[in-house]
Amino acid sequence: MQSKLSDIELIEQSLAGNQSAYADLVKRHQRFVFTLALRFAKGREDAEEIAQDCFIKAYRSLASFQGQSKFSTWLYSIVYTTAMTFLRKKRVATDSIDDENTFIQVESQESGYDTNNIENKSRSFYLNQAIAQLLPDDATIITLFYKGEQSLEEIAQALGMETNTVKVKLFRARQRLKEKLEQNLKQEVKELI
């Protein structure tokens, strides 16, 4: 029944000591937090560590959530800062691709053999491959806007930027994504010929 409650109601219950309410919040947001962490870390174990750290930090800071933005916006700002801190500590090369198939595993819950499903997996694979090749800031903005369905204002708040800055960065990130897709698909065509 608690899964029908809003994020704000679950937060209030969590602050009142109801641990299962926070568990419901985690379940509600864990997939996207992991996907976003994976955009930064590029490795499954590192992404899991980042996601876990994010939920621990969010729990500890839950009382500071004021409700002026959506909980998801507040949470994604925690993901962003946690991932940046993690990357600084690990000094990971952010432009390498460790495991291209991880993105497909995250996004496809069902496995089917019909043509549409295979075509969607292929599109998803190439799109995720191209996103993984972007700089972390570009990948974050693309992911928050398209997969997180966050508005420009929400992204600006989550990343601590002006809305116009996010708008410009999103435009440029789309251009770079398009270039990466074109490069990757040209390479695929060459390999097929």
Domain ranges of the chain: 2-192
**Residue appearing with tokens 């499903």:** 117
- Give dist(CA 164, CA 171) in Å, integer: 11
Question: Which CATH code for domain 2-192?
Answer: 1.10.1740.10
Residue 173: half-sphere exposure toward Cβ, Cα within 13 Å = 22
Stronger pLDDT, 190 or 126, i.e. the higher one:
126
Terminal CA-CA length for the chain: 55
Residue pLDDT, tens place only, 44-81:
898 899 999 999 999 998 888 888 788 888 888 888 88
pTM exceeding 0.85: no
3-state percent breakdown (helix, strand, coil) of the chain, nearest 5 = 80, 0, 20
Q: What pLDDT, on a 0 to 100 scale, did the predictor assign at position 100?
A: 45
- Give dist(CA 111, CA 108) in Å, integer: 7
Q: By percentage, how much of the chain surpasses pLDDT 70?
A: 78
Q: Which two tokens stand for residue 124?
A: 């998803």
Task: Report the mean per-residue pLDDT for the chain.
Answer: 78
Q: What pLDDT, on a 0 to 100 scale, did the predictor assign at position 72?
A: 85
Q: What pLDDT, on a 0 to 100 scale, did the predictor assign at position 28?
A: 92
Mean pLDDT of 84-108: 54
Residue 91 is given by DSSP the state T
- Whether the per-residue pLDDT at 121 is higher than 70: the answer is no
